[in-house]
Amino acid sequence: MKSFFIYLFTVFVASTCHLDAQTNLTYNLNVGDRFKVYQVANQDIVQEMNGTKHEMTNALEGDFTFTVQSVNDSIYNIKFKFDRFKMLSTSNLAGELFNINTNDSIADNDIQGKIFSQLVTCDLYMEMYKNGKIKSIKGSQKLIDKMISASGDFDSFTKELMKESMKKEFSNESLAMSFEQMTYIYPSEAVSNGDSWKNRFKGDLSADNLWTLENIANNEVTINGESSIIFATKDDDIEMNLKGDMTSKVVTSFDTGFVKTMTTYSTAKGNSIMHNMNDLDVPTTITSNITYKIEKDVQ
């Protein structure tokens, strides 16, 4: 009889330890929580045409603020605002293509500067599920309208073309898919160290992701990601169809669930179809490094 009770006790302790090892990874935010996000992205694009390499480099920096407005059982309502946007784009064949910094003063003839300066003037609003998937974003139409108005005295046809181009980057749907790549990392069920789960990102860059919980220690959660990616874009001038892989390293706060640091590295290869050059197929490789650093803003 004694050995039977020892057996039951041993099973109970083992079961309890197993349950303790299971962790529900989720966001745990409160009204008024503010997070400052610092993003640095570097992208290299190589195209090979008629024995000539066209090498382009995009260097982007962005700062933005998330503020939790309200919380219910399943949704966080979050206000976010761009605080700074900087982008330098260069080409080995054409030199400097873009040079934008919203912290700099804007010259009267700097149309790009005037357009992108409006990024830091509008509040946008996000509905996010507690696993980080974004339900919706609102407010981008006002932002796009301000960007168009700031561009100058163009005819209505030109402004409509500009608006359609901006929608690809700054529409509610495009912004949701972009930010989701930073927020949507958690599983729907409890996990233990070494467990893996899958989800998917959509957009110009779509990804099938396999996440693995590496460790929970010192109030930090470390997660690794391995992804198969497809980069697909199309407009009147160029169409890109690229495939590749992405690796991610994520450290989040166990208390809030919000990312503290995140780094991703990706390489995608395929072809660009140059519609303005008789649909010429151009071998193309895009390599990207993106880093996020996020701090909870103590007021």
Three-state SS for the chain is: CHHHHHHHHHHHHHHHHHHHHCECCCCCCCCCCEEEEEEEEEEEEEEEECCEEEEEEEEEEEEEEEEEEEECCCEEEEEEEEEEEEEEEEECCCEEEEEEECCCCCCCCCHHHHHHHHHHHCEEEEEEECCCCEEEEECHHHHHHHHHHHCCCCCHHHHHHHHHHHHHHHCHHHHHHHHHHHHCCCCCCCECCCCEEEEEECCCEEEEEEEEEEEEECCEEEEEEEEEEEEEEECCCEEEEEEEEEEEEEEEECCCCCEEEEEEEEEEEEEEEEHHHCCEEEEEEEEEEEEEEEEECCC
Of 229, 228, 231, the C-alpha closest to 242 is 231
Give the Cα separation of 56 and 47 in Å (integer): 9
The arithmetic mean of pLDDT across residues 132-143, rounded, is 93
More confident residue, 166 or 71: 71
In this predicted structure, the answer to whether residue 21 has a pLDDT above a threshold of 80 is no
Amino acid 13: pLDDT? 44
What pLDDT was estimated at residue 111? Answer: 86
Question: What is the value of pTM for the model shown?
Answer: 0.85
Distances 25 to 103, 217, 262, 285 between C-alpha atoms, Å: 37, 14, 16, 35
- Provide the angle, in degrees to the nearest 10, between the axes of the packed helices 172-183 and 140-150: 120
pLDDT at 5: 45
More confident site: 203 or 9: 203
Distance CA 185, CA 249 (A): 11
Q: 182 with 203: CB under 8 angstroms?
A: no
200-230 pLDDT, tens per residue? 988 888 899 999 999 999 999 999 999 999 9
How many CB atoms neighbour CB 86 within 10 A?
Answer: 17
Q: Can you tell me the mean pLDDT for 119-148?
A: 92
The rounded percent of the chain whose pLDDT value lies above 90 is 58
Mean pLDDT, rounded, for 19-40: 87
Q: Taking Cα atoms as reference points, which of 24, 23, 26 lies closest to residue 258?
A: 26
pLDDT band at 2 (very low <50, low <70, confident <90, very high): very low
Q: What average pLDDT does the segment 183-198 reach?
A: 93
Cα separation of 201 and 229, whole Å?
9
Using CA atoms, how far apart are residues 24 and 293, in angstroms rounded to an integer? 23
Beta pairing partners, 294: 37
The residue type at 18: H
* Mean pLDDT of the region 108-125: 89
In degrees and rounded to multiples of 5, residue 42 shows phi and psi of: -125, 130
Quickly state the pLDDT bin for 195 (edges 50, 70, 90). very high
Average pLDDT value for residue range 160-188: 87
- Residue 152 confidence class, pLDDT cut points 50, 70, 90: confident
pLDDT score recorded for residue 287: 95
Give the tens place of pLDDT for each residue, 59-112: 999 999 999 999 998 899 999 999 999 999 999 999 998 899 999 888 888 888
Instruction: Return the higher-pLDDT residue of 76 and 241.
Output: 76
Residues 6 or more apart whose CB falls under 8 angstroms from that of 280 comprise: 49, 273, 274
Q: Does residue 1 surpass a pLDDT of 90?
A: no
Contact 294, 261 (CB under 8 A): yes
Architecture per CATH, domain 25-296, reads as: Roll (2.30)
